[in-house]
Homo-oligomer: A and B are copies of this chain.
Amino acid sequence: MEKAVVLLSGGLDSCTCMAVAKSKGYEVYPISFNYHQRHIIELEGARKIAAYFKVPRHLIIETNMDAIGGSALTDSHIDVPEGDVNRKDVPPTYVPARNMIFLSYAMAYAETLGASHVYIGVNSVDYSGYPDCRPEFIQRFQALADFATTATAVQGKKITIETPLQYLSKGEIVKLGVKLGAPYQFTHSCYKGGEKACGVCDSCKLRLQGFAEAGVKDPIAYETGND
């Protein structure tokens, strides 16, 4: 069985990616990150999702990205915005070079496992503020990855970056996940990192908007209620 590494934050999009990769028949290897993020609680979601899918191993990388800072998610002095989800600038929740760092670890893991694919839940429709979620970023990452490892640059193997959510709206993502049986009850999207989702940060607003568009009830609990 071919193997796929899946970047699993514990949020809605990465949970959907897990379901997509499973539906394609891959043996799925999730990789998650404790990067000292404000919403470290998302890792509990990641653990539950990994367990739900009965994966052979759930790799958790530990790293002190808060020592670099520069983001509301890794520096407690920068506030999480309560959200204009249609803003066009880069929001303060952008974490410098995060997807480049995470995808590089995923490539290392794919090489060691002999995996042929790496899944990442980037999306450029509903929330295009992050530069490292755009198709051009992924294309250039792929071009780099093809020259960066022994597997790809010397042995001629291909490790393909898959972005099944790239062009879907949040509503379409929810519909896809529901269809594939993604366990959204275990996901955590809120940037504030409380036990219940805040319902007002950018990430919560976008998520609620997605469930509303899909006509599906969000199974997680919100401080603000979700009926």
Contact = CB atoms under 8 A, between A and B. Distances in A.
Contacts of A64: 61-63
B96 A149 contact: yes
A69 to B, nearest CB: 6
A211 interface: no
A131 B150 CA distance: 6
A1 interface: no
A154 to B, nearest CB: 6
Interface in A135-160: 136-137, 140-141, 143-150, 152-154
A111 interface: yes
A168 interface: no
Which of A94, A137, A148 has the most C-beta atoms of chain B within 10 angstroms of its own C-beta?
A: A148
Interface residues on A, range: 35 or more
Q: Classify the interface of chain A: helix, strand, loop or mixed.
A: helix
Contact of A105 (B90, B97, B146, B147): B97
A179 to B, nearest CB: 32
Contact of A154 (B90, B96, B97): B90
Contacts of A143: 140, 143-144
A62 B63 contact: yes
A65 B141 CA distance: 20
B68 A109 contact: yes
A9 to B, nearest CB: 17
Contacts of A134: 147, 153
9 contacts: A59-B68, A62-B63, A68-B108, A90-B150, A97-B149, A101-B108, A131-B154, A137-B148, A140-B147
Given A63-B64, A69-B112, 16 more contacts: A60-B67, A70-B111, A90-B150, A94-B150, A95-B108, A96-B112, A97-B104, A99-B148, A100-B145, A100-B149, A101-B108, A131-B154, A132-B148, A132-B149, A137-B147, A140-B144
